[in-house]
Amino acid sequence: MKLFIDIGNSHIKLVNFDNHFGEVSAINYDKRSPGDALSADGLDSLHVPDEIVCISVAGEFVKNQIIEQCRGIWGLVPEFIDVCDKVSGVTNGYKYVDQLGVDRWMAIIAAWNIVQNNVMVVDIGSAMTIDLVNKEGVHLGGYI
C-alpha cells in the first residue's frame, strides 16, 4: 500500500492507495506544527504503508518534520516529488523550472495525462492558479 501526502500552507492531505484510492483525510495545521498535527490527528492509526510519496509547498522545516514523523511511526522515509523539465509526456514551460510550485506541476501532469489534449488547469488552494498545456504536452505558462 502507498500513502500519498500533500503538504500545503495550512493543511496536510493524506490518501492511501491499494489498487484504488481510499478516503482523503485533511489535517489543519494553522496554529500548530505539522509534526504535532500529524501526531495529534492519528497518523499512527493509518495502515502501515509500504511506500510514502509526498509533495510539499511548505518549505524545508515542514518537510523535515514530516520525514521525522514517518520515520518515527513506520520506520520509512518518504519520497518527495520535485518539479523537473519533463515527465509523463509534459514539458515544463518555465525557464527556471523550480519556480513552478510542485502542487501546480502535479495538477498539470495529471490533467494533461487524463485528456492528452489542450487543457486549462484551474487549481484552488491558498491561491487560485490557472495553467495552460497544449496538445503536445507543453506547459504554456500560467497565472496565480
Are 92 and 142 in contact, with CB atoms under 8 Å apart?
Answer: no
What backbone phi and psi angles, to 5 degrees, belong to 90? -115, 130
- Please provide the DSSP assignment of 69-85 as one string: HHHHHHS-PPEEP---S
Query: Does 131 qualify as catalytic in the annotation?
Result: no
Q: Distance between CA 8 and CA 108 in Å, rounded?
A: 17
Tracing cell 520515520 back to the chain, one arrives at 71
Q: Distance between CA 16 and CA 60 in Å, rounded?
A: 24
* Catalytic-role residue among 30, 36, 41, 103: 103
Catalytic residues, by residue number, are 103
